[in-house]
Amino acid sequence: MVKYAHLIPLFPFIAFAINILFGRRLKKASAVISITASTISLAIAAVTYAGFLKGGGSYAVGRWLSFGGIPLDFGVTVDGLSCMMLMVVTIVGTLIQVYSVGYMHDDKRFSRFFAYLSLFMGSMLGLLLSDNFVMLYIFWEGVGLCSYLLISFWFERPAAAKAGMKAFITTRIGDTGLLIGILLLFFSAKTLYFRDLGHLGINDALLTVIALLIFCGAVGKSAQFPLHVWLPDAMEGPTPVSALIHAATMVAAGVYLVARTYGLFIAHHGALIWVAYIGAITALMAATIATVNNDIKRILAYSTISQLGLMMLALGVGGYEGGTFHLMTHAFFKALLFLCAGSVIHAVHTQDIFKMGGLLGKMKVTGWTFIIGSLAIAGVPPLSGFWSKDEMLSEILREGHPFLFAIAVITSLLTAFYMFRLIFVVLFGKPRSELHAHESPAVMTIPLAVLAVFSVFAGFFKPVKVEYFMLGVSMFIVIGGIGTAYVFYILGNKVLPASVRSKFSFLYKIILNKYYIDEIYEAALIRPCMSLAKFAASFDLRFVDGAVNLTAYLSMIAGRIQSWFDKYIVDGAVNMVANITWLCSAVFRRLQTGFIQNYILIAFLGLAIMILIKLIGGY
Amino acid sequence: MPFPLLTAITFMPLLAGIIILLVPKNRTGLIKGIATAATGIVLVLSILMLTGFDYNSSAMQFSENLSWIPQVNINYHLGVDGISIGLIFLTALLGFLACVGSYGIKERQKEYYFLYLLLNTGMLGTFLALDLFLFYVFWEVVLVPMYFLIGIWGGPRKEYAAIKFFIYTLAGSVFMLLSILALYFASQPHTFNMLELASGNCGVFAKGFQIIVFAGFYLGFAIKVPVFPFHTWLPDAHVEAPTPISVLLAGVLLKMGGYGFFRISYPILKDAAIYFALPFAILGLINIVYGAFVAMAQTDFKKMVAYSSVSHMGFVMLGLASMTITGFNGALLQMFNHGIITGGLFLLVGVLYDRAHTRDIDKFGGLGAKMPVYAGVLTVFTLASLGLPGLSGFVSEFMSLMGGFISFRLITAISVLGIVITAGYFLYMIQRVLLGPLNNAWTGISDINKRELFTLVPLMAVVIAIGVYPLMILNYQSAAIAKLIQDIGGLLL
Amino acid sequence: MSVSASIGYFLPELILAGAAIAVLIAGLFIRNKAVLGALCLAAIILSICNMPHSFQATGPLFSNMLINDSFSEFFKEITLLVMGLVILISIGYKPLDDESAGEYYFLLMSAAVAMMLAAASDNLIMIYISLEAISLISYILTAFLKHNRSSSEAALKYFLFGTLSTGVMLYGISFIYGLFGTTDLSAISSALLSSGVNGLAASVSLILIFAGLSFKCALIPFHMWVPDTYQGAPTPITAFLSAGPKAIGFAILIRIFLKNFFPMFPDWVDIVQAVSIITMTAGNILAINQEDIKRMLGYSSIAQAGYILIGFVVGTSLGIQAVMYYIIAYVLMNIGAFGCVILVFNSIKSDCIEEYSGLSRREPALAFCLTVFLLSLAGIPPLAGFFGKFMVFAAAIQSKYYMLAIAGVINSVLAVFYYVKVIKFMYLNDPRTSVKEPKPFPAKLAIIIALIGILVIGLFPVPFINWIGNSLL
């Protein structure tokens, strides 16, 4: 049954080809094609999963390239990790495509949207199945492309156009590291296959460098500090895209990459601890920003960054199980949250949470699923988020990192706080502005309901032994986070947040401005880069090309000087001589000009020089 | 005697050109027809050549060898192997498509098509000649029609660009001529035969001699490639040339330099090639990074693509410097891919220019809404050019980098940065041209038409096909490359 | 060989001399330059047919004054080729009127005889006399347009300069006579081989002779007459001067220096090498800024002489072959170019390069021909000019004259600039007038012959190289 795994990405690719070529004629039918394709993929993924449970494995499909005699096959890897992710991606992907039918129903580029979604699905599934670095890299860039295309889908908006570019370039900076890492790996170990990573037989220092370079790719894709800046901006894309690509699947690819190449990381802990600390910084930083942001999608975006940071943190301390578990659960509830946010935006046409309020009454399904998702992410037992977060926390502590554990706990606390800040502000209280909210159509609410079910029950896919200490910590987090939010936004509405804000105005300002990281990049990287480009261009024009033109110019000048010499010096002397001869001789006066004598003089001079050379040089 | 396929490929355009000279000036339809038919036949013949080619063999195939000037042992010697076959197909393909792309040329058509066809013969001959003298003749034949094609049908600064191109490239090639002569007199018996010279049957050359001769060839080839700091003719020539000529200039002419390294410098002057490996790698790096930076600052669309060529050809240098099978394969493939991709990009710039009569990137904006098909095609070529996996540019850049990495880790690692900058300026271009709100000046602009699409779709098909299944073309070249590496003592990696 | 026995080998010259007198007399009755020209052409063809074509030397003629070898025959044939072409383009030259055509052709035919004698001379006195004869005739021809002031002025300059040069040469010859007691070249070479000679005196005398010949070949610094004379002389005569005397000059240079005085090769080679480099460089640089096409071609012909001199400096068999091949190519392309200049002048009445604007639109065929000639002069393959340069550079590389070769190639790049400038005006600029003159057939024929010639000997040089190979000294 496993043998059909390579067909999983195929159908979305076919759907992409059909939609991009005939999209204009297909119109709304293109959604049917895309959804059908991803449903087929889902079915095959399920079959593959079943096959895997019976004992499947990896296999090669065909030769792609060979590097100096070392062949590179296009292969498929089927293991627990890939099967889990395949299921997640196909389920979430299919649901989101269904949702998109409603969300995008009056968009003029409807079919193109579905074409891109299919391309994304194909690339993402290919990425998951890849059994070597080159194939992974290809699909890795493929999903990056789709992300670019979909972020700037509404390209008429300058912000969307810019955000797409920012996403592509920022992730590409990370990918450059990944590429160098791949090259380095190939030439140190002569292999590009994941299966060989456990037994490479190269020295530790090199291994650390390779692992860190590969981690660079993950940092870019999963929006980890310091390459996280693109993800909040990516919210300019349509909300289903944010849900699918920038919450559930593509951004998780970085975590997936670390998990996939875990053999490389655990071989030497020098690299792994970097993963942990980068994750920790990211998690805390993004969580703090989420607490002060007012844009419904950006709050979720920072939340995503933060959660991905937690996963990295878990992986970095050796918590493979917890990290990958959270990867799965997060996909469900974060997709759910985004879709809920989309549904809200769809209804109220604004993204500022302080313009909303009291929506729960008008949007029952959206509201309640939103709450379920928030409970899940906050880690309320027994929802899925609780199990995975619990496992991560206990692993961090078990591996002996109390400091990182504290960060993880604070992050989780903040998570619960900002999520319920969102819930309380958006769904409860009174409407803050004139909004004509209405519930979204069934095509949008049904996926919400399905995802809510997954968000609740996904935690049971993996049996986890509950420790009482951890349960206590979790309860503290949940109650602390939600309780504070309740105090701030329901009880002390308007007064309390403002007074806290004014008390810590300096800190507030820094966080509100996202730690000025964008500004720092602008000043330290983008502007210098642009000036360097300008400098190079003017250098090229003035100096390099200038040298060429100077040569041409000089030969022209030489020609002029010689002509001038001929005309004026010789002629001038000529005129003088002519004048003298005019005085001396009547014969030469008739000649009027004395050209000839001078010419002859020069000829004689030349002759004399020749003879002189002979006399001095020769004898 | 078998059918002289290679002679037919080479001289078919010239023959058609002479026929065109006999056609009255005002029969433009007929003239176009003849030119299109001739380039079409060349394309068909080159496909025949591809199908008849045995790619397990590294030997010359379809060889033709006739004595031409026996007193100085000059032969009319043509042949094709894995190194040249891709470039010949590239030339034939671009030659045909650019011919169709030339229908937009409205003035002095008779002269145009004659010169165009003469140019084709020169380019094809350069890739097919196996005799150094013959090679040089074809090499120079390319200059003259190019001068006219830029000078007559070019843009505002056409005269400057044309003469600069002519003088600059000639200046390089005359030193190549001296090197050719030096090789001739150093070989025993004296010969111009590239294969003989490479085989070592004509004596082994001293290292010092090789270095000097290599330098002579280098001037000729480096200017064509172009390698920093010999590249400044290129932006001028590209910008001023009419669209189809820019396509050939970027698509084919630049490859003549790279091909020269593959066919002459490296096989014949092995020791010098090893001696110059490090400078080559450094120059490759400079080309990649410097070219990309300069491209980033351009506001002229065509100039930006021109500088991107400088950057992309850096990968060829890097692959060559690596002296590895992977690097060589990458470099050769990069030449082919760059020809296709940049050819396509120039066609696309031309499409825009024909409608807007400006190439200033900043003057566009939001064209994606008015020209969706154009936007799609442009995006595909741009992505291919910035090395997106799944499209052809990636494979060759990746292989060049892989090869380069074996020999020069640091240089290659820095070169990889060029990829980021490339992504930067291409996407920045896309953002300014296609995305954002529609600039009101272009509300009436029409999307790409059928003829234009016809010239682009085949190129796009090749871009995608090679990106998805690169062995399709690598199979042709790998045997010849492997033998070359073996002969020059490179790394079999 | 005695006088009477020699006459048989002297038939071509006799035919031309006879034709010269005949055309002078006929000119009194037939006042038509075309008819008279045809008569001359007939004589030239007849003369070619009577060439011995025996490629073994028949030894000295006329009491050792002349020698009949294949080398001289080669240059005689070149002379006849030049003459034929010059006569053809003369017929199409408008300022030449029918009245004086008889004299004109008489002078041309006489010049041909003198050149043939010069090519075959084996005695320094004979060389001097025949060169002087060529010069005298050239002076008259330069001034042939009596009413044209610049023509007369050009002739005067040419005359003064020429007289001086031949004087210098004569001075050198007298040195030689003093050293060897003879002016017979064969005798001198055997004396040089058998016994020693005062090297300094011999060198100085050789330099003096070289100076005299440099005037004929227009080498720097004996080139000053060239631009003024080329510009002022009637264009067919410019074509003649740029091709005929130059070819003969090189023939004599080769005969004296590379055959008879070859043992002294090391003494003079470095000076000549310097002259070669200076000649081509200065010629090219001076040509760049010229606005008059005849003046430009004048400087270009100086530069071309510099390239030819490379082959002479090398002095090997390949070098001499290169010189001879280059001369064939040079004669064809230079006369072809001047032929085109004449036809253009006929319609626009100007030799100003700027006036060539848009010629390709007005007269595409003519522009095309001129382009081919200029590209050939620039050395673009596969034209004859390229193969000539190729041979010259090959000879230099073979004998390890790398400096010369490098100077040569750099110069050939430099030269492209001004040749292409003319092409630029013809093709890239818009026409200023739309005047179109009917073109006389003979001139067209000359241009076509030259055009086909440079294509054929460029693409299929085999028979020509064989011919040259058989004509070596």
Q: Does B162 touch chain A (CB under 8 A)?
A: no
pLDDT class of A68 with cuts at 50, 70, 90: low
| Phi and psi angles of residue A74, each rounded to the nearest 5 degrees, phi first | -85, 105
Q: How far is CA B22 from CA B15, B17, C359, C459, in A?
A: 11, 9, 19, 22
Rounded-to-integer distance, Cα C282 and Cα C226, Å: 13
Residues from chain A that touch C417, judged by Cβ atoms under 8 A, are 552, 555
Q: ∠ at Cα B334 (B328, B339), nearest 5°?
A: 140
Position A581 scores a pLDDT of 47
**Does B199 have pLDDT greater than 70?**
yes
Q: Contacts by C28-33 with C-beta closer than 8 Å and gap 24+? A: C28/C102, C30/C102, C31/C98, C31/C99, C31/C101, C31/C102, C32/C98, C32/C101, C33/C90, C33/C91, C33/C96, C33/C97, C33/C98, C33/C101, C33/C104, C33/C105
**Does A206 have pLDDT greater than 70?**
yes
Rounded-to-integer distance, Cα C57 and Cα C73, Å: 10
Q: Do A562 and C285 touch (CB under 8 A)?
A: yes
Number of alpha carbons in the 13 Å side-chain half-sphere of residue C175: 19
Q: Does B471 touch chain A (CB under 8 A)?
A: yes
- The residues near A526 (Cβ < 8 Å, ≥ 6 apart) are none
Rounded-to-integer distance, Cα B316 and Cα B287, Å: 10
Other CB atoms within 10 A of residue C24 CB:
18
Nearest to C371 by CA among C296, C438, C421: C421
Position B244 scores a pLDDT of 92
Q: Which of residues 362-391 of B touch A (CB under 8 A)?
A: 366, 368-369, 372, 376, 379, 383, 388-390
Q: How far is CA C298 from CA A59, B56, C156, in A?
A: 79, 58, 17
**Does C403 have pLDDT greater than 80?**
yes
Q: Do C156 and A555 touch (CB under 8 A)?
A: no
Q: Which of residues 504-563 of A touch C (CB under 8 A)?
A: 552, 555-556, 558-560, 562-563
Residues from chain B that touch A138, judged by Cβ atoms under 8 A, are 389-390, 394
Helix (H, G, I), strand (E, B) or coil at C68: strand
Helix (H, G, I), strand (E, B) or coil at A441: coil
pLDDT (mean) for C92-98: 83
- The residues near A241 (Cβ < 8 Å, ≥ 6 apart) are A117, A150, A151, A153
Give Cα C394 distance to the centre of its chain: 23
Rounded-to-integer distance, Cα C417 and Cα C437, Å: 29
Q: How far is A155 from chain B (nearest CA, A)?
A: 5
Number of alpha carbons in the 13 Å side-chain half-sphere of residue C378: 29
Residues from chain A that touch C222, judged by Cβ atoms under 8 A, are 603, 606
Residue pLDDT, tens place only, A289-337: 888 888 888 888 999 999 999 898 888 888 888 888 888 888 888 888 8
pLDDT class of B117 with cuts at 50, 70, 90: very high
What would the two tokens of residue A506 be?
Answer: 């300096």
pLDDT class of B214 with cuts at 50, 70, 90: very high
Q: Do B401 and A179 touch (CB under 8 A)?
A: yes
pLDDT class of C240 with cuts at 50, 70, 90: very high
Of B405, B427, B474, the CB nearest to A183: B405
Q: Do A560 and C289 touch (CB under 8 A)?
A: yes
Of C380, C405, C462, the CB nearest to B71: C462
Neighboring chains of A (3 or more beta-carbon pairs < 8 A): B, C
Q: How far is B147 from chain A (nearest CA, A)?
A: 17
For an interface test with A, the pick among B236, B287, B296, B460 (most A C-beta atoms closer than 10 Å) comes out as B296
For an interface test with A, the pick among C271, C275, C300 (most A C-beta atoms closer than 10 Å) comes out as C271
Position A590 scores a pLDDT of 42
Of C203, C204, C286, the CB nearest to A562: C286
Q: Does A606 touch chain C (CB under 8 A)?
A: yes
Q: How far is CA A264 from CA A82, A202, A315, in A?
A: 17, 11, 13
Q: Please, what sign has the CA dihedral across residues B14, B16, B17, B19? A: positive
Q: Do A607 and C287 touch (CB under 8 A)?
A: no
Helix (H, G, I), strand (E, B) or coil at C199: helix
For a pLDDT cut of 90, what percent of chain A falls above it? 3
pLDDT (mean) for C393-411: 92
Helix (H, G, I), strand (E, B) or coil at A62: strand
Position C109 scores a pLDDT of 93
For a pLDDT cut of 70, what percent of chain B falls above it? 100
pLDDT (mean) for A516-536: 83
Q: How far is C142 from chain A (nearest CA, A)?
A: 16
Q: Do C393 and B136 touch (CB under 8 A)?
A: no
Q: How far is CA A46 from CA A50, A89, A90, in A?
A: 6, 12, 9
Size of interface A-C (CB pairs under 8 A): 72
**Does C238 have pLDDT greater than 60?**
yes
**Does C147 have pLDDT greater than 80?**
no
Q: Which residues of B touch C (CB under 8 A)?
A: 68-72, 111, 133, 136-137, 140-141, 143-144, 147-148, 151-152, 158-159, 162-163, 166-167, 170-171, 174-175, 177-178, 181-182, 184-185
Position B45 scores a pLDDT of 94
Q: Which of A70-84, B320-334, C284-298 shows the lowest mean pLDDT across its residues? A: A70-84
**Does C82 have pLDDT greater than 90?**
yes
Other CB atoms within 10 A of residue A457 CB:
13
Q: Does A500 touch chain B (CB under 8 A)?
A: no
> Whole-prediction pTM value?
0.89
Position C1 scores a pLDDT of 64
- The residues near A336 (Cβ < 8 Å, ≥ 6 apart) are A369, A370, A372, A373, A376, A448, A451, A452, A454, A455
Q: ∠ at Cα B169 (B167, B172), nearest 5°?
A: 105
Q: How far is A540 from chain B (nearest CA, A)?
A: 8
Q: Do B151 and C424 touch (CB under 8 A)?
A: yes
Q: How far is B125 from chain A (nearest CA, A)?
A: 29
**Cβ proximity of C305 and C427 under 8 Å:** no
Q: Do B402 and A142 touch (CB under 8 A)?
A: no
Q: How many helices (H) and strands (E) does chain C have?
A: 20, 2
Size of interface A-B (CB pairs under 8 A): 146
Q: Do A183 and B438 touch (CB under 8 A)?
A: no
Position A618 scores a pLDDT of 53
Q: Do B474 and A176 touch (CB under 8 A)?
A: no
Residues from chain C that touch A555, judged by Cβ atoms under 8 A, are 285, 288, 414, 417
pLDDT class of C58 with cuts at 50, 70, 90: low
Position A1 scores a pLDDT of 58
Q: Which of A151-165, A479-493, B16-30 shows the lowest mean pLDDT across its residues? A: A479-493
Residue pLDDT, tens place only, A217-226: 889 888 888 8
Q: Do C412 and B174 touch (CB under 8 A)?
A: yes
Give Cα B273 distance to the centre of its chain: 22
CA dihedral angle for residue A113, residue A114, residue A116, residue A118, rounded to 10 degrees: 170
**Does C56 have pLDDT greater than 70?**
no
Q: Is residue C382 reached through a cis peptide bond, with omega within 30 degrees of 0 on the bond before it?
A: yes
Other CB atoms within 10 A of residue A27 CB:
11
ipTM computed for the complex = 0.86
pLDDT class of A460 with cuts at 50, 70, 90: confident
Residue pLDDT, tens place only, B248-276: 999 999 999 999 999 999 999 999 999 99
Of B141, B143, B181, the CB nearest to C397: B181
Q: How far is CA A10 from CA A16, A78, A610, in A?
A: 10, 16, 85
- The residues near A351 (Cβ < 8 Å, ≥ 6 apart) are A295, A296, A297, A298, A345
Pick A595 or C120 by higher pLDDT: C120
Residue pLDDT, tens place only, B225-249: 888 888 888 888 888 999 999 999 9
For an interface test with C, the pick among B11, B175, B178, B192 (most C C-beta atoms closer than 10 Å) comes out as B178
**What residue in B sits closest to A62 (Cα-Cα)?**
B469
What would the two tokens of residue C200 be?
Answer: 């300094």
Q: Does A600 touch chain C (CB under 8 A)?
A: yes
Position A574 scores a pLDDT of 47
Q: Does B395 touch chain A (CB under 8 A)?
A: yes
**Does A159 have pLDDT greater than 70?**
yes
Residues from chain C that touch B163, judged by Cβ atoms under 8 A, are 417, 420, 424
Of C393, C398, C416, the CB nearest to B177: C393
Mean pLDDT, rounded, of chain B: 90
Helix (H, G, I), strand (E, B) or coil at A551: helix
Neighboring chains of C (3 or more beta-carbon pairs < 8 A): A, B
Pairing relationship of beta strands A70-76 and B61-69 according to DSSP bridges = unpaired
Q: At what angle do helices B450-468 and B82-101 cross, to 10 degrees?
A: 160
Position A56 scores a pLDDT of 67
Rounded-to-integer distance, Cα B287 and Cα C21, Å: 72
Residues from chain C that touch A610, judged by Cβ atoms under 8 A, are 207, 211, 271
> What is the SS3 assignment for chain B?
CCCCHHHHHHHHHHHHHHHHHHCCCCCHHHHHHHHHHHHHHHHHHHHHHHHHCCCCCCCCEEEEEEEEEHHHCEEEEEEECHHHHHHHHHHHHHHHHHHHHHHHCCCCHHHHHHHHHHHHHHHHHHHHECEHHHHHHHHHHHHHHHHHHHHHHCCCCHHHHHHHHHHHHHHHHHHHHHHHHHHHHHCCCCCCEHHHHHHCCCCCCCHHHHHHHHHHHHHHHHHHCCCCCCCCHHHHHHHHCCHHHHHHHHHHHHHHHHHHHHHHHHHHCHHHHHHCHHHHHHHHHHHHHHHHHHHHCCCEHHHHHHHHHHHHHHHHHHHHHHCEHHHHHHHHHHHHHHHHHHHHHHHHHHHHHHHHCCCEHHHCCCHHHHCHHHHHHHHHHHHHHCCCCCCHHHHHHHHHHHHHHHHCHHHHHHHHHHHHHHHHHHHHHHHHHCCCCCCHHHCCCCCCCHHHHHHHHHHHHHHHHHHHCCHHHHHHHHHHHHHHHHHHCCECC
Position C53 scores a pLDDT of 66
